[in-house]
Homo-oligomer: A and B are copies of this chain.
C-alpha cells in the first residue's frame, strides 16, 4: 500500500519532516513541486496564520493539519465546501504561550529590556534608575479565557497578581471574575493580556478607546493575533504617552517592518515566538502526527475544527 503524500507549506515546518517520514511521503511547497506531484497530495501541514494560496492546485486534498492552535488565515468555509477535514493543535501550546505572556509582562514591568539596553549603551549611572512594579502590585486583565487565558490566569494568580477577564461568552465554570465589557476590564487593570482567538468579529477590538482606558501607566501584552489591535491607534497612544507600554509577540503584518516601530517608546517586540520552545515543538509535532494518523486510520481526529 502506498504512503499518503503530505505537503509541508513553509520551511518553518521542515523540522517536522522526520516525524512525518515515518509514515508519509513529504513534498515541500517552497521547492516548487510540479503539478503532477501536487495533484497527488492527500494532506497538508500549515501554520494557521499563513494563507493557503495553493489550495486550487491540490485537487485530491482530503485533510488540513494546522500545526498551530490559531487558524485565522485559513478559509474554513472553502475547505468545508470541498469536504476537507481540518484539525488544529488544540490546547497543546497553551502552557508555553501563557508562560511567554508572563515573560513579556515581567520583562516590561521589571524593566529588564530597558536595563539591558542601558548597561550595554554605557549609560548606567547617568541618571536615576527606573522603579518597576512587582506582580503583587499589579492587576491583570485577560481577554479571552480559552486554554491560554486559563493557563496565564493560574500562573499570574500564584505569583500574586489579582486577575480579572473578559470574553464575549460567560463561562460560569471559571472562578476568575469576568467584567461586563472589554472597556471595563481595560479601565480597572494595569496589564491587559490578549489571549483570544482572532476572527471577523473581533478585528481591532483593542481600539483607541480601549488603549485610553488602559491608560498612561498601563501595559498591553499580545500573544494572540495582531489583528485584535488597532496598530495605528497603538502607535499613537505610545508616542503620545496615553498608553504606558506594550509588549507584542504578534502584529497585523508579519514580519512587521522595523521602521513601523522606529522611535516608538516603551515597546517590547518579539517575532511571534510565544510557542517556540523545544518541548512545545516536540509536543505539537506529536499532536499533528496524531491528527494525521487518526484521519488516515479512518478514526475521528481529536482536534477537528471542520
A residues near B (Cβ < 8 Å) are: 12, 95-96, 99-100, 102-104, 106-107, 110-113, 115-116, 118-122, 124-125, 128-137, 155, 158-160, 249, 254-259, 261, 268-273, 276-281
Bound CA span A240–B21, Å: 37
Q: Closest Cβ of chain B: how far from A279's Cβ, in Å?
A: 4
Q: Please name all residues of chain B whose beta carbon is closer than 8 Å to the beta carbon of A254 when the two chains form the complex.
A: 124
Contacting pair B270 A116 (CB below 8 A): yes
Bound CA span A128–B134, Å: 34
Q: Closest Cβ of chain B: how far from A92's Cβ, in Å?
A: 12
Contacting pair B131 A281 (CB below 8 A): yes
Contacting pair B120 A261 (CB below 8 A): yes
Say how many copies of this protein the assembly contains: 2
Q: Please name all residues of chain B whose beta carbon is closer than 8 Å to the beta carbon of A110 when the two chains form the complex.
A: 99-100, 103, 273, 277
Contacting pair A278 B124 (CB below 8 A): no
Which of B112, B133, B257, B277 sits near A131, CB closer than 8 Å? B277
Contacting pair B268 A116 (CB below 8 A): yes
Q: Please name all residues of chain B whose beta carbon is closer than 8 Å to the beta carbon of A259 when the two chains form the complex.
A: 122
Which of B95, B130, B268 sits near A276, CB closer than 8 Å? B130
Most buried by B among A106, A259, A270: A270
Contacting pair B133 A268 (CB below 8 A): no
Contacting pair B258 A134 (CB below 8 A): no
Q: Please name all residues of chain B whose beta carbon is closer than 8 Å to the beta carbon of A273 when the two chains form the complex.
A: 110-111, 115, 129-130, 132
Q: Please name all residues of chain B whose beta carbon is closer than 8 Å to the beta carbon of A115 when the two chains form the complex.
A: 249, 269-271, 273
Bound CA span A259–B110, Å: 24
Q: Would you list the 4 A-B pairs with minimal beta carbon distance, nearest first?
A: A122-B258, A115-B270, A103-B106, A124-B255
Q: Please name all residues of chain B whose beta carbon is closer than 8 Å to the beta carbon of A120 when the two chains form the complex.
A: 258, 261, 269
Bound CA span A247–B26, Å: 41
Contacting pair B276 A111 (CB below 8 A): yes
Bound CA span A136–B151, Å: 14
Bound CA span A223–B281, Å: 31
- Chosen A-B contacts, 7 in total, with CB atoms closer than 8 Å, are A99-B110, A99-B135, A106-B106, A107-B107, A110-B273, A118-B271, A119-B258
Q: Please name all residues of chain B whose beta carbon is closer than 8 Å to the beta carbon of A249 when the two chains form the complex.
A: 115
Which of B113, B128, B158, B279 sits near A136, CB closer than 8 Å? B279
Which of B107, B113, B119, B155 sits near A261, CB closer than 8 Å? B119
Q: Closest Cβ of chain B: how far from A12's Cβ, in Å?
A: 8
Bound CA span A60–B3, Å: 90
Q: Please name all residues of chain B whose beta carbon is closer than 8 Å to the beta carbon of A271 when the two chains form the complex.
A: 115, 118-119, 124-125, 129
Contacting pair A279 B133 (CB below 8 A): yes
Q: Please name all residues of chain B whose beta carbon is closer than 8 Å to the beta carbon of A106 when the two chains form the complex.
A: 99, 102-103, 106-107
Bound CA span A302–B106, Å: 32
Which of B134, B256, B277 sits near A124, CB closer than 8 Å? B256
